[in-house]
Structure 1
Amino acid sequence: MSSSTTLSHPVAEPWPNARHSGAPLLVIGAGPKAIALAVKSSVLRAAGFDVPEVVAVERDRTAANWREGRGWTNGLQRLGTLPEKDLGFPYDGSAWGDADDPIAGEVVQRMAAYSWAGHLRDRGAYARWIDRGRPQPSHREWADYLQWAAVRAGLRTVNGQVLGAELADDGWTLTVQDGELRSQVHGRGLLVSGPGPVAPVVAPDGTRVLTTGDFWRLATEGLPDWARQVTVVGAGETAGTIVRELAVGLDRQVTVVTPRATLYSRGESVFENRYYSDPTGWSGLTEADRREFIRRTDRAVFSQDVQADLAGTKNVAWEPGRVVGTRQDGAGRVEVEIAYGGRQRVHSADLVVDATGGDPLWFTRILGPRADDALRAALGGTVTREHVERAIDASLAVAGLPAPLHVPNLAALAQGPGFPNLSSLGLLSDRVLAAYVPSVCPGLAPAADDRPADLSAVNQGAAQR
């Protein structure tokens, strides 16, 4: 079994320049997207395809955001997505061969070895999970699965924080800081993953007004007894897990400030889910319909699992509107200013938690001059979320750049709603890696000369393994 490899700094650079055919695909963050790519890359290379190795740059540890201590969870919250939607889902090999092509079937079979069920079988826990009714794993259990897959796939990681990302000849160069050491890593392409730094809508003070990270750290230490009435700003899944912890786990009174009329749940019918698993036909919808679909099913909605838990408590209320400011009154409580329908009102709370999530454009702040100029030129002069969303091509990269910059967290509008989240990690890895195989278009079978020369030999070797 291969093992996950951590490269210490300074590194003896294995890829001296990005023109080298062996240069990797770089990923900022060693989370689910990086691991899905590493697994698919390993599987495809074992099947004979010339795809790049994946190297993740991670300042902490593999799947850190799914564990307690990084400020996104206490590790005990339950996963909002079905665990069967794992690193290989939807297990469609059509990007690498048609339905009758044995190589496509081999890719799917190899991917199945990295499934959630495969992880449980490897631990001897599969039957127990089935007997318990296939419960949702906790975030900590999901992190263990991701770590297991990363080790098996041999994901290579570079420790440190990315300080800069600059276009190099036919690729990218990342400047990485690890303690006192600084180094550079080169790659053929770059993928930005993770939620990015928190972008609060109200100024936190670390005591009465908290960020998501502040809250989870405080909840782990023990939420003060004086924090009986808590206001949570935000209505997405980040907010939902905090509301559940407060109302159900800690028995606190919670008011959620939501930009819409109520706390909506994510649609989970076969009709909504189809676009997450298979975005065929997505681009044929009008932009207005695509935005409405995303808004109703994935943005500012609570998962049905969270909604079911909240249905059993009377501790949750909501206020429609947007928070425009906070101030402390003379008694130490926080007055929350809420704007809605052209009017403003004030809501009082012991504690305020800003759970509005990260900034998806955070990566633009680390771009070097050449990369910044190229991105602006590709987008017509101005870098905005809307411009980037409209410019994402089939490989989940910004079209028009001299080297691929994949930004799946911004790919929902142009390519399908499942790419920013956990809904179609297998399809995401196909779309990205197919861009590095000559003459292969994502979603289409590879050209004959891009496949392994001797499929029978490859399949015979796979059977022996």
Structure 2
Amino acid sequence: MSHTSTLFPAATAGSWATGGHDGAPLLVIGAGPKAIALAVKSRVLRAAGFDVPEVVAVERDCTAANWREGRGWTNGRQRLGTLPEKDLGFPYDCTTWGDSGDPLVAELAQRMTGFGWTGHLLDLGTYARWIDRGRPQPSHREWAAYLEWAARRADLRTVTGEVRRAELDGGGWELTVEDGGSDTVVRGCGLVVSGPGPTAGVVTADGTRVLDTGDFWRLATRELPVWAQHVVVIGAGETAGSIVRELALGHDRRVTVVTPRATLYSRGESPFENRYYSDPTSWTDLTEADRLEFIRRTDRAVFSQDVQNDLAESAEVSWEPGRVVGTRPSGTGPVSVDVSYGGRQRTLHADLVVDATGGDPLWFTDILGPRADEALRSALGGAASLRGVERAIGTTLAVDGLPAPLHLPNLAAFAQGPGFPNLSSLGLLSDRVLSAYVPFARTENGSPAAAHEAGVPAAASLADQGALHR
């Protein structure tokens, strides 16, 4: 059964020439932090008089699902790897929407704090206790509660189901969403792809002795089998780090980590490194080689310092440099893990193997319709490749050259700044994306914004718009 949603009007063809969106929403695949940050910023901006689209998320599970236990990415007890103050509004620099001295810009930032982590604690009445406890990192469960609170406060609308097809439709996008055997067609002016997508490991999981990330967390949430005393974890990023910490400290198991680099590196966390996450203004001044090295040093195949400090308490964690080229289960016995490094191959043996190498960053290309696929190929000058897509992302975090915006923040690190794929600059991410729909908004490489010259009311009129959270 198929029907077309009447809630969301189709964008008018050609509207991109004027930057309009004709009342059509901005569609986001996934109702996680990026979608919620966009919904919050959209609500604040619309209350201030900016003609930005409403945000509608398409979600197959529930809001902030990947941060909840039983959903395949955590047991809920793991601690957040990013400072909670780097919340949905961070870095609270709203100069995309006006000059730094414009009262409207300060007012927008102030309004955004009402959706922040501390605002959530104030609403719960637990802010003082959090401060008195030394501002501890929240658990994933607590972070999910914050995200859900902000989504409700921003009135984020969601369409339940799985996106089966994403097709260009005139000047916008058309999503075919499947839920319970029926299809809904949802239309919008732009599309944001968020979330990690389906897991795509380097070995084939069997759900028993060889697990992917989802398999592991579902198993660990219930009970890890007694026979799994030695576990090989493939991968050295934050996903792997959380799994290693859970195994070594939560279950007292012996763990060997297979990492593609020489050792288990710590994520760089100095003020100098963090600056590029919070303010990537000079990011494109760096050479390509330096940008790649920076991302490797601070965000790829590194454990957070929080995880590293915890693992220092255990003597049961070791590592092996190399890449896993295959596994050979032996029925109910140990699994053979073939590792290649420096032109040589060796074999490890483990009771259990967990592939924590993450998802396929180009997963969205599998759901593109024929017109969208052809337009993407034309914009890239050939078939989609990881490096090709990364190089094509512009200041609004969308692929340059498409007839309607396709925003890919998870792939924007190389071209636009290291904070966009993660939680490090959600406020700036939402500014960049929404600026695509406001002709007078300022982007990093654009001219200064003149929002008030485009008919946007002054900051004092925000109160006249009515309560933001009504």
> TM-score higher than 0.5 here?
yes
CA deviations on 1:232-267 (whole Å, 9 max, x unpaired) are: 000000000000000001000000000000000100
Partners of 1:95 and 1:10 lie apart in 2 by 38
Query: Following the alignment from structure 1 to structure 2, what is the Cα–Cα distance between the partners of residues 186 and 464?
Result: 29
Rounded Cα–Cα distance in structure 2 between residues aligned with 1:146 and 1:240: 23
1:151 to 2:144 alignment: no
Aligned to 1:461: 464
SS at match of 1:172: strand
**What are the equivalent positions in structure 2 for 1:274-313 lying under 5 Å apart?**
274-313=275-314
Q: How does 1:104-143 map to 2 (within 5 A)?
A: 104-143=105-144
Identity %: 72
* Runs of 5+ unmatched residues, structure 2: 13-20
Aligned to 2:18: none
Q: Is the 8 A contact 1:65 1:73 kept in 2?
A: yes
**Equivalent residue letter for 1:170:** G
In structure 2, the CA distance between the partners of 1:368 and 1:338, relative to structure 1 (3 Å rule), is same
Residue 389 (structure 2) pairs with residue 388 (structure 1): yes
Say yes or no: does 1:259 pair with 2:260.
Answer: yes
Structure 1 residue 458: Cα displacement: 1.1
Q: Where does structure 1 lack aligned partners over 5 or more consecutive residues? A: 1-8
Residue 200 of structure 1 corresponds to which residue in structure 2? 201
Matches within 5 A, 1:325-364: 325-329=326-330, 332-364=333-365
Is the aligned partner of 1:41 residue 2:42? yes
State the match for 2:436 in structure 1: 435
- Residue by residue over 1:37-73, the C-alpha shift from the partner in whole angstroms, topping out at 9 and shown as x without a partner, is 0000000001110000000000000000000121110
Distance 1:407 1:16 in 2: 23
Q: Residue 6 of structure 1 aligns with which residue?
A: none
Q: Secondary structure at the match of 2:241?
A: helix
The one-letter amino acid of 1:16's match is P
Kindly indicate whether the alpha-carbon contact (under 8 Å) linking 1:435 and 1:441 is maintained by their aligned counterparts in 2: no
CA distance in 2, matches of 1:285, 1:93: 24
Q: Which residue of structure 1 lines up, in the alignment, with residue 7 of structure 2? A: 14
CA shift, 1:346, in A, is 0.4
Q: Note if contact 2:329-2:336 (Cα within 8 Å) is conserved in structure 1.
A: yes
How many residues of Structure 1 are paired with residues of Structure 2 in the alignment? 457
Q: Which residue of the partner structure matches residue 416 of structure 2?
A: 415
Specify whether residues 464 and 173 from structure 1 end up closer, same or farther in structure 2 by C-alpha distance, changes over 3 A only. closer
How many angstroms does 1:462 deviate by? 6.7
Cα gap change, 1:186 to 1:462, in 2 (>3 Å): closer
Deviations 1:341-379 (A, max 9, x none): 000000010000000001110000000000000000000
The alpha-carbon deviation at position 446 of structure 1 amounts to: 2.5
Q: Aligned letter for 2:261? A: R
Distance 1:318 1:445, change over 3 A: same
Amino acid at match of 1:385: L
In the alignment, the residues of structure 1 paired with residue 157 and residue 448 of structure 2 have an alpha-carbon distance, to the nearest angstrom, of 28
Please point out which of 441, 447, 453 is paired with 2:450.
Answer: 447
- The CA distance in 2 between the partners of 1:347 and 1:453, in whole Å, is 64
State the alpha-carbon separation in 2 of the partners of residues 388 and 464 from structure 1.
41
Alignment partners' CA distance in 1, 2:22 and 2:453: 15
- Alpha-carbon separation, structure 2, partners of 1:205 and 1:35: 34
Distance 1:448 1:200 in 2: 46
Aligned equivalents of 2:55, 2:228: Cα separation in 1: 45
Where 2:437 maps in the other structure, the secondary structure is: coil
CA distance in 2, matches of 1:263, 1:287: 24
Residue-by-residue CA offset, 1:96-138 (whole Å, 9 max, x unaligned): 1112111101110110000100000000010010000000000
Give the direction of change, closer, same or farther, for the CA distance of 1:386–1:12 in structure 2 (3 Å limit): closer
Q: Aligned pair in 2 of structure 1 residues 450, 346: CA closer, same or farther (>3 Å)?
A: farther
How far off is 1:184 after superposition?
A: 0.4
Preserved CA contact (<8 Å) 1:327 1:335: yes
Please tell me the residue identity of whatever aligns with 1:14.
L
1:290 Cα deviation from its structure 2 partner: 0.3
Structure 1 residue 371 and structure 2 residue 359: aligned? no
The 3-state SS of whatever aligns with 2:84 is: coil
Paired residue for 1:5?
none
TM-score, L = length of structure 2: 0.95
Which residue type is aligned with residue 402 of structure 1? Answer: P
**Paired position in structure 2 for 1:249:** 250
